[in-house]
């Protein structure tokens, strides 16, 4: 049998990390581990962004945001690009001020931001709050929300890594898109 460890947030002892050991059942052996690339089956939970993740969120980037729908109570998933890490424990994002995301956050502030980068896939859990329904210095009616990070988990399935990160392109005038992106990202950085 192979034993692996998982480090999880210890809620009973004021948020430190605690390590738990688990054993895999019969039929899982060292040869299987070697065939899968010698992966370590450990989930590390952090309470802030690593330096690499912080750097990734200093510019526009494709992410998804999971919220709870304010009407149905069902999970809701949205794609975003205007995201900015203010610090290792705070992320801002901008969306149309009529977006369902805002009503969802108002009713249930627990969110998860999914980020693919740095060779892996990360779930960034936290509490979101709408900071303003009209972002200054931007020609569109955009709202800004802020996520206070509670946990960051590497959620990539074991024995693998991301080899190509998601890419996208704007489908409208490239110059207008670049100008708007610059205005929104500047507003996110400069907001109080």
Question: Model confidence over 130-157: pLDDT tens digits?
Answer: 999 999 999 999 999 999 999 999 999 9
Q: Which residue has the tokens 């490239």?
A: 174
* Cβ(137)–Cβ(178) below 8 Å: no
Domain that holds residue 98: 47-190
Q: Are residues 58 and 84 in the same domain?
A: yes
Strand 75-80, strand 120-132: pairing: unpaired
Same domain? For 177 and 113 the reply is yes
Same structural domain, 39 and 53: no
In a shared domain, residues 51 and 39: no
pLDDT tens by residue, the chain, 192 residues: 333 344 444 444 444 444 433 344 444 444 434 444 444 445 678 999 999 999 999 999 999 999 999 999 999 999 999 999 999 999 999 999 999 999 999 999 999 999 999 999 999 999 999 999 999 999 999 999 999 999 999 999 999 999 999 999 999 999 999 999 999 999 999 998
Residues 104 and 34 in one domain: no
170-191 pLDDT, tens per residue?
Answer: 999 999 999 999 999 999 999 9
User: Around Cβ 24, how many Cβ atoms within 10 Å?
Assistant: 14
Judgement on whether residues 89 and 155 belong to the same structural domain of the protein = yes
Considering the domain architecture, whether residues 14 and 88 belong to the same structural domain is answered as no
Tell me, what's the pLDDT at 45?
87
The pLDDT, as a whole number, for residue 13 is 42
Domain count, the chain: 2
pLDDT for the residue numbered 42: 53
User: Do 9 and 102 sit in the same domain of this protein?
Assistant: no
The CA-to-CA distance between both ends of the chain, in Å, stands at 54
29 and 104 part of one domain = no
Assign residue 150 the CATH number of its domain.
2.30.110.10
Find the Cα–Cα–Cα–Cα dihedral 69, 43, 116, 93, rounded to 10°: 50
Q: Do 148 and 181 fall into the same domain?
A: yes
Instruction: Clarify whether residues 31 and 120 are in a common domain.
Output: no
Answer yes or no: do 107 and 185 share one domain: yes
């Amino acid at each position: 049998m192979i034993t692996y460890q998982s480090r999880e947030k210890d809620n009973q002892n004021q948020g430190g990390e605690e390590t738990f050991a688990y054993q895999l059942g019969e039929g899982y052996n060292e040869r299987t581990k070697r065939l899968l690339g010698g992966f370590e089956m450990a989930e590390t939970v952090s309470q802030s962004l690593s330096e690499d993740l912080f750097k990734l969120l200093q510019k526009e980037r494709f992410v998804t945001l999971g919220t709870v729908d304010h009407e149905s109570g069902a999970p809701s998933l949205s794609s975003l690009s205007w995201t900015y890490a203010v610090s290792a424990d705070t992320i801002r994002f901008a969306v149309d001020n009529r977006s369902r995301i805002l009503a969802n956050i108002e009713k249930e502030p627990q969110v998860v931001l999914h980020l693919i980068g740095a060779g892996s896939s990360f779930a960034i859990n936290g509490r979101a709050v709408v900071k303003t329904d009209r972002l200054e210095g931007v020609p569109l009616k955009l709202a800004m929300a802020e996520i206070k990070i509670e946990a960051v988990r590497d959620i990539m399935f074991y024995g693998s890594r991301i080899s190509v990160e998601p890419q996208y392109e704007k489908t409208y005038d490239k110059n207008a898109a670049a100008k708007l992106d610059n205005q929104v990202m500047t507003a996110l950085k400069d907001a109080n």
